[in-house]
Chain A
Amino acid sequence: MSRQTKEIIIKYIFLLFALVSVIVLGLIVFSLFREGLPLFKTVSVKDFLFGMEWYPTYDPPSFGIFPLMVGSLIVTLIATLIAVPLGVMSAIYISEIAPQRIKEILKSVIELLAGLPSVVLGFFGMVIVAPWLQETFDLPTGLNIINASVILAIMAIPTISSISEDALYAVPREFKEASYALGATKFETIVQVIVPAALSGISTAVMLGMARAIGETMVVLMVAGGAAAIPESLFDSVRPMPASIAAEMGETPYGSAHYQALFAIGMVLFCLTLAFNLIADYISHKFRQTGSATL
């Protein structure tokens, strides 16, 4: 075998490895559909998605995941409202304002926060935040929307902060210098020049942070309270989709309708996060930041 042939073979072997990610993605879809789709022989898609009752173990069971979706969306939304200002502001601080030493420490803090296992944060929410909420507001339970949202926000902040920081950092120096040269203050430069220039990256960061929050399991499993009903206040318990899957899969016989329904929830969750990720990917490619070279 000539060396050239060998080189070509090596190249294709590496291509094969690189395709593993795509193949795994395909296998994920395959597995979810294989186990989940049979549910729709007995339950209509409409009843599944918009049914108000999730009673998987009743006789006859009822597989309406609307309350679960509402639970997921509401905790994600509130977590985003908390995490976006904190994440973006801390990114601005790190990238534009902080002195070198503090910058390095903060970046490590963010990285360590990202490294905290979700079960640890869930535990923290259960053992600390929940009793405190319960006492302070005199609630029947501290395991509720607001608790889950705060903990989810802590999980989403590192994603939002680090990706925003990359985007801010990539804004060409020329922009800043031009702005300073016109007599703008640092604040005006940040708000009117730097942040707008980094907006696509920051949007990507927010989308990915939301995707992280909506798919996060252990936190919502441990601190959202687990009530499969439409909440009426922020102190009500909810049962977000990942929590339902994680809580119920253990007690479900293989191949039962309930088992299939949990995989079907997985399909919904997968599609939701996929959508978030594709939007993020689209934003970051469509509105690619203009560097100095492309000006």
Chain B
Amino acid sequence: MESNTIISIRGVNFYYGTVRALTDISMKFRKNKVTALIGPSGCGKSTLLRLLNRMNDLIDGTKVEGEILFEDKNIYAPDVDPVEIRRKIGMVFQKPNPFPKTIYNNISYGPNLNGVSSRDMDALVEQSLKQAVLWDEVKDILNKSAMNLSGGQQQRLCIARALAMKPDILLMDEPTSALDPISTAKIEELIEELKDNYTIIIVTHNMQQAARVSDETAFFYLGNLIEYNKTEKIFTKPEVKQTEDYITGRFG
């Protein structure tokens, strides 16, 4: 597990004001794997995810202790620019959130601001949409507003938008919770395909989903990391009682 670690969390505590949301979390994420973070609402799984690309910076009165190493560098070190981090660690949100722009401009927005020339843009847009398995559906309407797409299409567009930045890691915060079962299945297939090239960390409240898509699973409860192991292990022979109670549906 050591050799191909991409992110390593060391003794992280996180506070909203005076409320501690995460307690002494230490864990490692492996490259080109899908890791699922599961647990009941309020367990801190989404908070942890948002710590990985410093999105929690946007919330007033929060405090981080400990280290999160990405490429052997603590992303919370004072000299680190969070913008730089977010370029390499993309994110897909719970609800599809395309910009009220055209499909094309949704994809080109990030690369454009990060200096990709307009000559290369067409190819990049096409490639990103293909990666997100959306190209065939939208290739003729690239100049139409993204707001006209269905929810599932919008979410794949958001994935394509994140992929266009060529990130190393893709964070997904309950990416299918607002979608119908068919769209959900498409996104899950997509995750399967993406893992060859990307490291994916996905928060989900759907345990079947975690079991289906992930290689490793971490179970959180009340801000603590309770158990972290290979997914098949977690779902067949959990070591901790709380994990077992949760995945067998006894609470949560």
Contacts and interface: CB of A to CB of B under 8 A. Distances in A.
B109 to A, nearest CB: 17
A2 B81 CA distance: 10
Interface in A1-54: 2-4
A121 B180 CA distance: 59
Contacts of B81: 2-4
Contacts of A4: 81
Interface in A82-115: none
A3 B87 CA distance: 14
Contacts of A2: 81
A147 B123 CA distance: 74
B183 to A, nearest CB: 33
Contacts of B83: 3
A291 to B, nearest CB: 19
Nearest to B80: A4
Q: How large is the interface on B (under 10, 10 to 19, 20 to 34, 35 or more residues)?
A: under 10
Interface residues of A, number: 3
B26 to A, nearest CB: 29
Question: What is the interface of chain A mostly: helix, strand, loop, or mixed?
Answer: helix
Nearest to A7: B83
A3 B115 CA distance: 14
Interface in B69-99: 81, 83
A4 B79 CA distance: 9
Interface string B34-69: 000000000000000000000000000000000000
Interface in B126-153: none
A3 B79 CA distance: 12
B165 to A, nearest CB: 16
A4 B82 CA distance: 9
A4 B77 CA distance: 14
B44 to A, nearest CB: 22
A3 B114 CA distance: 12
Nearest to A4: B81
A6 to B, nearest CB: 11
Contacts of A3: 81, 83
A10 to B, nearest CB: 13
A2 B83 CA distance: 12
Nearest to A2: B81
B103 to A, nearest CB: 28
Nearest to B79: A4
B88 to A, nearest CB: 15
A4 B84 CA distance: 10
A104 to B, nearest CB: 25
B185 to A, nearest CB: 37
A2 B79 CA distance: 11
Interface string A61-72: 000000000000
B76 to A, nearest CB: 14
B57 to A, nearest CB: 12
Interface in A153-198: none
A3 B86 CA distance: 14
A122 to B, nearest CB: 45
B87 to A, nearest CB: 11
A99 to B, nearest CB: 31
B4 to A, nearest CB: 31
A3 B80 CA distance: 11
B83 to A, nearest CB: 7
A281 B83 CA distance: 39
A88 B165 CA distance: 55
A292 B83 CA distance: 37
A4 B81 CA distance: 7
A11 to B, nearest CB: 14
A182 B42 CA distance: 36
B130 to A, nearest CB: 31
Interface of B: 81, 83
4 contacts: A2-B81, A3-B81, A3-B83, A4-B81
Which 4 residue pairs across A and B have the least CB separation, nearest first?
A4-B81, A3-B81, A3-B83, A2-B81
